[in-house]
């Protein structure tokens, strides 16, 4: 019986392996556009107020978006992740209903 297993530098000893940690590839979340639709009943001032309140627009930016909605029928309020866009749409719709305006706010995948 040979005692080769206990000799230093023996290659036939226990197997060794190197464990490397693989960094997972993270994917950027899908983004969604929040859009306001034009109607003939919601006052322009209310739309400006909504843009200021829920989308943190200043008066000038809010007015510009409101006029775009008025002339083109639709306007983008912002681009957000799904959860945030969904929340913004719900907040705008609830606020409009509370103030008895038919304002429509929707989201679409960018």
CA distance 105 to 103: 7
In order of their start, the domains of the chain are 40-109 (3.30.1390.10)
Count H helices and E strands in the chain, helices first: 3, 3
pLDDT for position 60: 98
User: DSSP assignment, residue 7?
Assistant: S
CA distance 38 to 50: 13
Q: What is the pLDDT along the chain (110 residues), one digit of tens a residue?
A: 555 555 555 555 567 788 888 888 889 999 999 999 999 999 999 999 999 999 999 999 999 999 999 999 999 999 999 999 999 999 999 999 999 999 999 999 99
pLDDT for position 17: 80
CB 88 within 8 A of CB 77: yes
CB 89 within 8 A of CB 52: no
pLDDT for position 16: 78
């Amino acid at each position: 019986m040979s005692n080769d297993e206990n000799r230093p530098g023996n290659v036939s000893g226990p197997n060794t392996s190197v464990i490397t940690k693989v960094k997972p590839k993270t994917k950027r979340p899908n983004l969604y556009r929040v859009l306001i639709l034009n109607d003939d009943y919601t006052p322009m001032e209310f739309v400006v107020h909504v843009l200021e309140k829920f989308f943190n627009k200043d008066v000038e930016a809010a007015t510009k978006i409101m006029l775009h909605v008025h002339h083109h029928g639709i306007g983008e309020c912002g681009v957000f992740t799904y959860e945030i866009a969904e929340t913004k749409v719900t907040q705008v719709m609830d606020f409009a209903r509370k103030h008895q305006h038919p304002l429509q706010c929707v989201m679409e995948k960018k």
